[in-house]
Amino acid sequence: MQINFRWSPKNRYSIAALGAVLGDYRLVRRPEAGVMLYSFASPQAADVYREVDAARTARAAHDSIFIAGGPHPSGRPEEAAEHFDYVVVGEGEATLPELLATLEGGAIREGGRDVSGVRGIAFTRDGRFHYTGPREEVDLDRCPPFRPPLLGPIEITRGCPWGCAYCQTPSLFGHRMRHRSIEAICRYDGFYEDKRLVSPNAFAYGSDGVRPAPEAVEGLLKSLTGNVYFGTFPSEVRPEFVTRDMMELVTTYCANREVHLGGQSGSDRVLRSIRRGHTAAQVVEAAACVRDAGLTPVVDFIFGLPGEREEDQAATLGCIEAIIREGGKIRAHYFMPLPGTPLAAAQPEKVAPEIDRLLGKLALGGRLTGSWSPQRTRIKTPRRHLEPKDAKTPSSF
């Protein structure tokens, strides 16, 4: 069976991680004969479905098998199964090779080998949706982060014990933090001079994700060579993990001049409602701690969160202004409901005109980037500041 990954710059990390556990595969830019693998997030879903629907009705692709994975299909497997033959739900490293091996045992359209024993997949048969159920979490040490020549970032941690209502990470990877061992990480040290490490919360390396474990972080950082970028793209850190100890480790062992923080709102009421588990004051304190260490804090905020009122937006703006006054930078986002999250069915709130105007003014000053309302076009930022959501989930197929 010819295995084809549908290439897109947005799914390169998924391909790097999953390609490492597959045999030979090709990168293709359109549907081709064989097995077609697609990994995608919600903004790409409509285009992907259009392409797959057209290919499946075309004669040339009649014998191809279409398999979907990634954040969107994992959050909406029933929807994805209307377009694809199979959907890999959640982590792909164990599920995808097993599914492919099972399919290779026979021509599926002629009723070849039974795939119902493959855990972690969804499909439609005779008009009925089937999900084979969750499977065990993979052991990161047994799954390479990439296989040359296609390189990806080194994923050091997967899963998150927090339950932020807008975030797909816990539903994709579970609530338990799993860390790649230092020994396994160091096997990939030599592939890069500039090392970027992937984690939902980089400063939580080696910990349970609730209390920092600086000794584990130091063990990791002192084992790596070259320029290590830690707590910055393509990762970020939670504010309460920013401590003087942690910043000392960054300034001692790392090359980054910025630390990227998830702040999300300046309103404690909103932070409680989205279950962030920290306060607005902690966000400002964390930014100050980064600045005191001589680095620039870059803080994410989301506007339009469900239930957010104008006074909440004003509180977020106040928080943003305080961080900018102290030399920080802001990345603004507009809330997008993501499948598989508690807020999947929620509608974004409008951004009040005066808040919108003031954010625009800050953007013109160059300290704020991103798009904070549907009307706003994204303000371009240097590439390393653009953090595609799928960068955090390199192996959610």
Least separation in angstroms between residue 54's CB and ligand SF4 is: 35
Comparison of 237 and 363: residue with beta carbon closer to ligand SF4: 237
Comparison of 95 and 199: residue with beta carbon closer to ligand SF4: 199
Q: Are 250 and 230 contacting, i.e. CB atoms less than 8 angstroms apart?
A: yes
To the nearest 10 degrees (0 to 180), the angle between helices 353-364 and 310-325 is 20
Q: Are 24 and 35 contacting, i.e. CB atoms less than 8 angstroms apart?
A: no
* Dist. CA 334–CA 302, nearest whole Å: 5
Least separation in angstroms between residue 354's CB and ligand SF4 is: 28
Segment near ligand SF4 (CB under 6 A); pick from 65-73, 162-170, 221-229, 357-365:
162-170
In this structure, the number of other CB atoms found within 10 A of the CB of residue 149 comes to: 6
CA dihedral 20, 23, 27, 30 (to 10 degrees): -130
Comparison of 31 and 75: residue with beta carbon closer to ligand SF4: 75
Least separation in angstroms between residue 346's CB and ligand SF4 is: 16
CB neighbour list of residue 80: distance below 8 Å, 6 or more residues apart: 68, 72, 73, 87, 122
Segment near ligand SF4 (CB under 6 A); pick from 4-12, 46-54, 155-163, 350-358:
155-163
Segment near ligand SF4 (CB under 6 A); pick from 24-32, 93-101, 160-168, 342-350:
160-168
Comparison of 14 and 168: residue with beta carbon closer to ligand SF4: 168
160 scored as a contact of ligand SF4 (CB under 6 A):
yes
Comparison of 170 and 266: residue with beta carbon closer to ligand SF4: 170
Residues 42-101 that bind ligand SF4 (CB under 6 A): none
Comparison of 268 and 310: residue with beta carbon closer to ligand SF4: 268
DSSP 346-371: PPPPPPPHHHHHHHHHHHHTTSEEE-
Candidates 49, 86, 146, 162: give the one binding ligand SF4 (CB under 6 A): 162
* Dist. CA 34–CA 48, nearest whole Å: 17
CB neighbour list of residue 248: distance below 8 Å, 6 or more residues apart: 293
The burial class, CB within 10 Å (0-12 / 13-18 / 19+), for 160 is: buried
Segment near ligand SF4 (CB under 6 A); pick from 156-164, 332-340, 352-360, 371-379:
156-164
In this structure, the number of other CB atoms found within 10 A of the CB of residue 319 comes to: 22
What does the per-residue mask of binding to ligand SF4 show for 262-291, with x meaning CB under 6 A? x-----------------------------
Least separation in angstroms between residue 315's CB and ligand SF4 is: 20
Candidates 75, 170, 297, 328: give the one binding ligand SF4 (CB under 6 A): 170
Task: With CB under 6 A as the rule, give the number of residues binding ligand SF4.
Answer: 11
In this structure, the number of other CB atoms found within 10 A of the CB of residue 397 comes to: 32
Candidates 31, 75, 153, 200: give the one binding ligand SF4 (CB under 6 A): 200
CB neighbour list of residue 161: distance below 8 Å, 6 or more residues apart: 170, 175, 176, 177, 208, 209, 210
Comparison of 200 and 340: residue with beta carbon closer to ligand SF4: 200
Comparison of 163 and 337: residue with beta carbon closer to ligand SF4: 163
In this structure, the number of other CB atoms found within 10 A of the CB of residue 380 comes to: 10
164 scored as a contact of ligand SF4 (CB under 6 A):
yes
203 scored as a contact of ligand SF4 (CB under 6 A):
no
AA identity, residue 380: K
Candidates 8, 157, 169, 282: give the one binding ligand SF4 (CB under 6 A): 169
Least separation in angstroms between residue 358's CB and ligand SF4 is: 26
Comparison of 5 and 203: residue with beta carbon closer to ligand SF4: 203
Residues 229-268 that bind ligand SF4 (CB under 6 A): 238, 262
- Whether a cis peptide bond, with omega within 30° of 0, leads into 170 is no
Comparison of 37 and 164: residue with beta carbon closer to ligand SF4: 164
* Dist. CA 339–CA 126, nearest whole Å: 25
Q: Are 122 and 374 contacting, i.e. CB atoms less than 8 angstroms apart?
A: no
Site residues (CB under 6 A) for ligand SF4?
Answer: 160, 162-164, 167, 169-170, 200-201, 238, 262
